[in-house]
Amino acid sequence: MEMASIKAHKDSNTLIITKNSNYTRPITHRINLIAGMNSRCMEKVSIDGNLQLGKAARIMGDTKANNVILGAGSVIMGDLTVSGDLLALDKSRVTGRVSCVGGAVIRPGVQFGSLDAGGLIELQGNAPCKHVRGKVVIHDDMHKPVEKEPVKMKPPRKEAKPPSKKEEPRKAKPKVPPKAQSTTHKKMGEETEEPGKKHKWFPW
């Protein structure tokens, strides 16, 4: 690991221990503290503020804070005293006693020496220790997939077909005899109007 690297965020009054670093002094201030992933605080922590441990972060001593978030796989080697609420993510661990004034949410794989909470304790999986004191709610199947019954599709309704009308045979149209071609007879000596013919006629 690299040597200690710590940053201060004045607007939020927060100290940040950067990831993959060590901090060798005790932290006892009125501040918030964030320990980055894989960081280590080699002394005790007693702050008047909130504490957040990143993934696999470690504190090598007793710890006291207002509200605490233990990241996945983080470890506190000692006791943990929380004056507010506690959230312990998957496989986080406290080797000593955990005392919490408010409520606590415990994810699967968490391990404590003991747990005493004044508020509601929500367990998502097994209890973190043998000695648990407080009102406990267990959510065993919170993360198990709910098996749904297959939905049975109803066959579509068959629409009643209207009674088919029998096709009547088509009636043959009556044949109309061709109109007789009319001829126009005119006076003697004039032309006769017949199709395709034009000639004069005289009486015999």
First to last CA, the chain: 145
What is the reported pLDDT for 123? 94
What pTM did the predictor assign? 0.67
Phi, psi of 166 (to 5 degrees): -70, 130
Mean pLDDT of 47-60: 96
Residue 104 to residues 68, 73, 128, 136, 140, Cα–Cα distance (Å): 10, 17, 11, 9, 16
pLDDT, averaged across the chain? 81
Contact 66, 46 (CB under 8 A): no
Beta strand ranges found along 18-165 (DSSP E): 22-23, 32-35, 40-41, 45-46, 51-53, 58-59, 63-65, 68-70, 75-76, 80-82, 86-88, 93-100, 104-106, 111-123, 132-138
In a domain, 151, yes or no: no
In a domain, 187, yes or no: no
User: pLDDT band at residue 148, thresholds of 50, 70 and 90?
Assistant: very low
DSSP SS3 for 36: coil
The yes-or-no verdict on residue 45 having pLDDT over 90 is yes
The yes-or-no verdict on residue 163 having pLDDT over 50 is yes
User: pLDDT band at residue 50, thresholds of 50, 70 and 90?
Assistant: very high
In a domain, 131, yes or no: yes
Sorted by sequence, the CB contacts under 8 Å of residue 178 that are 6+ apart come out as none
What is the reported pLDDT for 3? 44
The yes-or-no verdict on residue 156 having pLDDT over 70 is no
What is the reported pLDDT for 56? 96
3-state helix, strand and coil shares in percent for the chain, rounded to the nearest 5: 0, 40, 60
In a domain, 43, yes or no: yes
DSSP SS3 for 119: strand
In a domain, 197, yes or no: no
Phi, psi of 88 (to 5 degrees): -110, 110
d(CA 134, CA 59): 26
Percent share of the chain, pLDDT over 70: 66
In a domain, 30, yes or no: yes
Categorise residue 140: left if φ over 0, alpha if ψ from -120 to 50, beta otherwise: alpha
Domain of residue 94 covers 6-138
In a domain, 147, yes or no: no
Residue 125 to residues 28, 62, 82, 109, 173, Cα–Cα distance (Å): 34, 26, 22, 8, 90
Please tell me the total count of domains within the chain: 1
In a domain, 123, yes or no: yes
Min mean pLDDT across 78-82, 105-109, 137-141 is at: 137-141
Strand 14-17 vs strand 6-9: parallel, antiparallel, or unpaired? antiparallel
